Amino acid sequence: MNFATPAVLNIAELLSRVDNDRELVSELFLIFKSVFPPHLQRLSDAVANEIPKQVESESHILKGMLLNLSAQRTAALAGDLENMGREARIAGMKEALTAFQGEAETLLLQMESVELQP
Amino acid sequence: MKILIADDDPVSRHLLEKTLLRAGYDVIAVQNGMAAAEQLCRDDGPRLALLDWEMPELDGPGVCLEVRKKKDQGYVYMILRTSKGLKNGHRYRLKLRCGRLPDQTI
């Protein structure tokens, strides 16, 4: 990975925040990959069924995880959904979810591509 | 020194737990507010807690309220964490529940 290129995942910042503990980053990625699908499913269901409160709560949880992983771009999209949920803004929610899903897919691919073994 | 971490986000919980363990602290990590309040109200419970604001069963301010109800124990220091911006209403309600509140959030 080229650290100079703006990326969905800012691995340099993440490693810096954990004192270059690659094992810890690897553990965090594993945890995220295991809990992300059910959260995304609940978020998608909430958007499809137009339940703003659930959109807000699921997006908030995802945003927190993503910020901890230095995935600011994806976190910002989760934050957009959180705001839409809080304000019960249904219009545009499906498009926002699509944007979030696309970014999250890229993020998961980038997590796979990062070399974390010493 | 024993520190309690309460967070329903497993990424955040693991990150905090590992960081504090590496710094030499004893850590108790729980995933909801009820479990946090139970630990903090024990006579031998932690005297410092990092609490997520939003948690299932009992939120961070709710944990503060439960702990402050118990008078016959040493002071418990609780730090509330959130990625949400705090409005004045939030701050006022928190002050009512917890008694002390710094002028600024960090």
ipTM: 0.84
Residue in B14, B22, B54 nearest the CB of A28: B14
Mean pLDDT of B74-99: 71
DSSP string, A1-21: --TTS--SS-HHHHHHHTTT-
DSSP string, A20-61: T-HHHHHHHHHHHHHHHHHHHHHHHHHHHTT-HHHHHHHHHH
Give the separation between CA A39 and CA A61, rounded to whole angstroms. 8
Dump pLDDT digits (tens) for A65-110: 999 999 999 999 999 999 999 999 999 999 999 999 999 999 999 9
The predicted model scores a pTM of 0.83
Q: What is the pLDDT confidence band of residue B89, given thresholds at 50, 70 and 90?
A: low
Q: Which residues in chain B are contacts of A32 at CB distance < 8 A?
A: 11
- Mean of pLDDT over chain A: 92
Give the separation between CA B84 and CA A57, rounded to whole angstroms. 12
**CATH code 1.20.1070 for A11-113:** no
Residue with tokens 């997520």: B52
Q: What is the pLDDT confidence band of residue B102, given thresholds at 50, 70 and 90?
A: low
Interface test with A, best of B13, B14, B15 (most A CBs within 10 A): B15
The dotted CATH code for B2-98 is 3.40.50.2300
CB B50 within 8 A of CB B9: no
Cross-chain Cβ contact A57/B10 below 8 Å: no
Q: Does the pLDDT at position A15 exceed 60? A: yes
The pLDDT score that the predictor gives to residue B50 is: 96
Q: Does the pLDDT at position B101 exceed 60? A: no
> Domain limits of chain B?
2-98
